[in-house]
Amino acid sequence: MATVDRASEGRGGFAVMLPFRLAPRESSVWRFADWISLRAAVVLVAGLWLGLAVDAFAASAAAQPSILSLMVKWSPVLFGGFLFNLLISFLSMAIGTAAGIILGLFQVSLRIPLRRSAWVVTQFFRNAPWLVLLFYCILLIPFELSIFGRTVPFPDWIKAVFGLSLPVMAYVSEFVRGAVQSIPSGQWEAAESLAFSRRKTMTMIILPQCVKRVLPPWMNLYAILTMATPLVSIVGVQEVMTLTRAALGAENRVDLLIPIYLYVLSWFFIYCYPISRYTVRLERHFTVIG
């Protein structure tokens, strides 16, 4: 509820109505959910490594390589592939964010053709399957380009970056459009009364206020994008999933299948879980009315 500053009354002033915050009624529920999810993940990872330790003792008795030793053997290769996934996610997010900001500003443009065209592009890529966009980029973009008479190769992973940046662009465009339209109209009227142009109003007043509105969903989108990067293995990019299948094929051990995929999954969880939790914290922090 709103509160009244009584301290000013003692100084001979008037009572001031302070802006109020939405009380986080579900804060205890969120804390309990965090507690459960975090401990479930710890139990899962601990159970995985405990099972691998038991398997190592059993394998030593049978005089064959244990699953734990095989995973340690392939860890440098797999971790290099995981870092490649993170590189793809970072580049896709950077390109998609830059293009999405421009497209989102086009959606709030005063020019009707520009606004409608930006809306069509946003809705098309926002509702298109990510895997289909990847295949289109892989098949339509040439494998090499001729620049000033010199042939430059165009690797598949760069095509995958462009393919993943397209849906990111569409989602960021919607974030920007929604954030700009959520700014109270009094902000525009105040800027107009000060003789600000629309460009100065947008860059100096509106967009700075949009940052806190866009940041939580933007971080959540990055976590989703990172978890979606294994899709690029389907189009031939040598990332962590491709290398995992290569390791399974090289060892030819059926019992290695589930542990090694859980091992890779734990890396994605360790990287993405803090991002998702920090996103929730930012959403609570920025939920202010008044």
Amino acid sitting at position 6 = R
User: How confident is the chain (290 residues) per 10-residue block, as mean pLDDT?
Assistant: 47 47 46 56 60 52 70 90 94 95 93 94 94 89 78 86 95 94 87 86 88 89 93 87 90 85 90 86 65
What is the total count of domains within the chain? Answer: 1
Does 163 fall in a domain?
A: yes
Does 260 fall in a domain?
A: yes
Does 85 fall in a domain?
A: yes
Residues β-bridged to residue 16: 5
Does 27 fall in a domain?
A: no
pLDDT of residue 184: 87
pLDDT of residue 116: 95
Q: What angle do CA 227, 268, 52 make, to 5 degrees?
A: 140
Does 133 fall in a domain?
A: yes
In degrees and rounded to multiples of 5, residue 137 shows phi and psi of -65, -40
Does 269 fall in a domain?
A: yes
Question: Per-residue pLDDT tens for 94-122?
Answer: 999 999 999 999 999 989 999 999 999 99
Does 66 fall in a domain?
A: no
pLDDT of residue 24: 46
Q: How far apart are CA 10 and CA 1, in angstroms?
A: 23
pLDDT of residue 2: 45
The number of beta carbons lying within 10 Å of the beta carbon of residue 181 is 11
- The secondary structure element, H or E, covering residue 68 is helix 67-107
For residue 80, give the CATH number of its domain: 1.10.3720.10
pLDDT of residue 255: 82
Does 16 fall in a domain?
A: no
- DSSP H helices, 127-206, are 130-140, 156-182, 185-193, 198-201
Residue 264's domain comprises 71-286
Question: Per-residue pLDDT tens for 222-231?
Answer: 999 999 999 9
pLDDT of residue 29: 46
